[in-house]
Amino acid sequence: MTAEHQDEPIALDLPPSLKATRRGAIAHIRLARAEKRNALDDVTVLGLETFFTKLPEDIRAVVLTGEGKHFSAGLDLSEVANDLDPLERVLHSRMWHRAFEAIQFGRTPDVTVLHGAVVGGGLELAAATHLRVAELSAYYGLPEGQRGIFLGGGGSVRIARLIGVPWVQDLMLTGRTLSAEEGHAAGITQYLVEDGRGLEKALELAAKAASNTTTTNFAVLHALPRIHESHPTSGLLTESLMATIAEMSPEATERLKDFLEKRAAKVLRQS
C-alpha cells in the first residue's frame, strides 16, 4: 500500500468501542466490541453521534463496518434492564433517535458493510445509513418481540420504509431471520458480495459518492427523503427549488460544460 493510500487516525474523542481512520476524503468508522458481537451500548451510540457531527470538514464520505464475526447483535440489553422510570426509558430511545438522525441527515454519504449478525439495533443503525453492502454471511432479525420489548432506535420508521410493515411484523412476531440473499431481495441492501469483499466494495462506492458535488449530495441526503415523505404538490415544488440551487452551483456549471464539450464520460451500464 502506497503512502497516499495508508489509513490515518482521525483526531476525535471517541470511546474504545469505536475506531476511526481516514483514507484521503473517506472516513472509516468501526464498531470495536467484537467480544460483545458489537452490541450497542449508550457509550457507543453517543460516540457515533460525536463522530458524525464532528467529522473534519474535508471528509466527503464515510464507511461503517463492524470488527470480528458480526456487524452488530443490536442493543446491549443491560442498558434497558436497569431500574429506569418510564420517562427515562423514553429519553433513552430518543437519544438513539438523535444519534441515528445525525447519521442519516449528516454531511456525508454513508456506506455500511454488513456481515454476520445484523439484528435489532444493529439493523436500525444500518437503516440510518444511505448505502448498504451485504456479505453472504450476513443475516437479519428483529428479536425484540421475543425479548418483551419493542423497536427503539428508529426501526419502526426506517426499517419499515426499507422492507415494508408486513416484513417487520413477521420478523418481530415470529423471531424469523433473513439470510443475506433474502434480505437483499426484501430491500435491506443495495449490494450483495462474497464474504471478505464488503469493505472493498464499500470504499469503491464511497469514492464515487465523494466525487459528487457537495450541493448534489446535500440534495440527495436531505431533500430527497423529505420530498418522498411530503405531499406530491409540496414535493414537486421542493424538487424545483433544489434543482435550481444545484444547477447554479459553480461545480455544476463546470461539469455541465465538460459534458457538453465532450470531456465527461457518458452513462454506461455498471454493476
Residue 233 pLDDT class (50, 70, 90 cuts): very high
| Gap between the Cα atoms of 102 and 50, Å rounded | 9
CA-wise closest residue to 63 among 98, 21, 111: 111
Residue 267 pLDDT class (50, 70, 90 cuts): low
Residue 79 pLDDT class (50, 70, 90 cuts): confident
Question: Does the annotation mark 144 as catalytic?
Answer: yes
Residue 265 pLDDT class (50, 70, 90 cuts): low
Residue 258 pLDDT class (50, 70, 90 cuts): low
**Chain mean pLDDT for the chain:** 93
| Gap between the Cα atoms of 268 and 139, Å rounded | 32
Residue 238 and residue 226 in contact, taking contact as beta carbons nearer than 8 Å: yes
Tens-place pLDDT, residues 139-155: 999 999 898 899 999 99
Please report the sign of the dihedral spanned by the C-alpha atoms of residue 128, residue 140, residue 120, residue 62.
negative
Question: Which of 114-118, 123-127, 259-263 has the least mean pLDDT?
Answer: 259-263
φ, ψ for residue 186, nearest 5 deg:
-75, -20
Query: What percentage of residues in the chain have a pLDDT greater than 90?
Result: 83
| Gap between the Cα atoms of 104 and 128, Å rounded | 5
Report pLDDT for 1.
Answer: 34
Tens-place pLDDT, residues 177-189: 999 999 999 999 9
Is 4 exposed, middle or buried, given 0-12, 13-18 or 19+ CB atoms closer than 10 A?
Answer: exposed
Catalytic residue from among 4, 124, 194, 229? 124
CA-wise closest residue to 136 among 184, 170, 92, 101: 184
Alpha-carbon separation of residue 131 from 39, 42, 77, 119, 240 (angstroms): 21, 24, 27, 17, 25
Does position 175 have pLDDT exceeding 90, yes or no? yes
Residue 250 pLDDT class (50, 70, 90 cuts): confident
Does position 263 have pLDDT exceeding 80, yes or no? no
Tens-place pLDDT, residues 1-23: 333 467 999 999 999 999 999 99
Question: Does the annotation mark 124 as catalytic?
Answer: yes
Q: Which residues contact 154 (CB under 8 A, 6 or more apart)?
A: 96, 97, 100, 101, 124, 127, 128
pTM value? Answer: 0.93
Report pLDDT for 82.
Answer: 76
Catalytic residue from among 49, 79, 135, 144? 144
